[in-house]
């Protein structure tokens, strides 16, 4: 399939070259006298060059060559998973399917997201980047620079990476809202992306498991999209959040503080989980009050509490937290009331609330139907 995709890209490039040759035969006087013809030609060129193609399940497209070149990364890879319902259908198409980044944890891989993300069933666009053994959201032994050297160009700049991927999807025609789902180190990156939300990172919502916000430092790592907490003074927009944490996590303490993942650097401190949720609620313009409900779980002591701040939030903003009592660092995969927490269901809920175009409805079945010969009409 990747060879087919490259072949189609080559054919499109050749069509552009042919069109350019034809355009050069047109007199410059004709184009000056007919600006509409020039605009139409330029638009047609763009439509051939930029298209959000659909792909089959488990056969994502690659953005690796476009995104990864020239970056200080050895493992960089970016997969783009586009259901046919979310692909551009030609000039003037508006594929507004939600765009969901799936961010693996430290030492993890993006290899399995194409099989497990569920975007083809949900009619959402999946984006699966590969980090450098994880994401540069804290002190790493593999880094060349100290985390306070913001001008560093030899360590991974995660904010710029994700912003570049979003730019590329926009250039291809994807217009949907952007979400990020991450586990552990991937959740740390999701928090950071939302904390630096804005024009470059238009994050509408995050789903984060087993990691909360940092209380310090204020910034860390290369670039300008490296703030660790949201701030209205920097223009960070509101963002919906679904959080899942185990309150007995031995790696990322529910009550905050230091963690071994920071390699002994005490400058990095985690917020208590409920403080992290309160900060997001406050930033989003919520009152800070929440409703609690008790549930069963298949982890820890078998119980979970949901803290729902949404009723005190502006319309379209959801702020929810599940505490898996007795749960450890695997609590992100816990079942609550017999089912795993629905990541893409949360995205769909936010989409309905924010007034964006809901994901396209799958086509009706073409088999297993009975024809009614007495029915007529359209």
Strand partners, 244: 209, 322
What share of the chain in percent tops pLDDT 90?
Answer: 78
Q: Among residues 230, 168, 245, which one has the least CA distance to residue 194? A: 230
Average pLDDT over residues 330-349: 97
pLDDT digit string, tens, across residues 90-110: 554 557 999 999 999 999 999
Question: How confident is the model at residue 95, as a pLDDT?
Answer: 77
Instruction: Tokens for 221, please give them.
Output: 């790592």
DSSP structural state of residue 312: G
Lowest mean pLDDT among 2-11, 118-127, 261-270, 279-288: 2-11
In angstroms, the CA 220 to CA 138 distance is 7
pTM above 0.95, yes or no: no
Residue with tokens 């994807």: 174
Residue 50 has what pLDDT? 66
The C-alpha angle 175, 179, 182, rounded to 5 degrees, equals 150
**What whole-number distance in Å separates Cα of residue 329 and Cα of residue 72?**
30
| pLDDT over 90 (residue 373) | no
């Amino acid at each position: 399939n990747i060879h087919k995709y490259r072949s189609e890209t080559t054919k499109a490039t050749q069509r552009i070259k042919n069109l350019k040759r034809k355009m050069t035969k047109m007199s410059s006087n004709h184009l000056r006298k007919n600006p509409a013809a020039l605009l139409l030609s330029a638009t047609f060129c763009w439509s051939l060059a930029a298209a959000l193609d659909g792909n089959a399940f488990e056969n994502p497209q690659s953005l690796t060559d476009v995104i990864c070149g020239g970056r200080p990364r050895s493992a960089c890879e970016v997969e783009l998973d586009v259901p046919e319902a979310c692909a551009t259908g030609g000039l003037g198409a508006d594929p507004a399917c939600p765009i969901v980044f799936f961010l693996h944890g430290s030492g993890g891989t993006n290899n399995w997201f194409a099989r497990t993300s569920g975007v083809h069933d949900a009619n959402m666009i999946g984006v699966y980047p590969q980090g450098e053994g994880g994401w540069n959201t804290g002190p790493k032994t593999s880094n060349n620079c100290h985390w306070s050297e913001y001008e560093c160009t030899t360590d991974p700049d995660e904010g710029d990476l994700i912003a570049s991927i979003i730019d590329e999807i926009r250039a291809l025609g994807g217009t949907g809202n952007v979400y990020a789902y991450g586990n552990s180190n991937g959740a740390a990156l999701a928090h950071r992306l939302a904390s630096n939300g804005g024009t470059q990172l238009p994050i509408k919502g995050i789903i984060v498991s087993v990691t909360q916000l940092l209380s310090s430092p204020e910034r860390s790592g290369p670039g300008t999209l490296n703030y660790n907490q949201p701030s209205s003074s920097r223009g960070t927009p509101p963002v919906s959040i679904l959080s899942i944490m185990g309150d007995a996590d031995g790696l990322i303490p529910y009550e905050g503080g230091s963690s071994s993942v920071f390699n002994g650097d005490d400058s990095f401190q985690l917020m208590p989980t409920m403080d992290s949720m309160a900060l997001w609620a406050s930033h989003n313009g919520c009152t800070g009050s929440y409703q609690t409900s008790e549930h069963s779980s298949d982890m820890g002591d078998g119980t979970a509490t949901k803290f729902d701040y949404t009723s005190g939030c502006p319309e379209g903003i959801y702020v929810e937290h599940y505490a898996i009592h007795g749960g450890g660092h695997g609590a992100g995969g816990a079942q609550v009331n017999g089912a795993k927490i629905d990541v893409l269901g949360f995205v769909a809920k936010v989409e309905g609330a924010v007034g964006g175009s809901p994901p396209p409805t799958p086509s009706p079945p073409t088999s297993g139907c009975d024809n009614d010969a007495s029915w007529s009409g359209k």
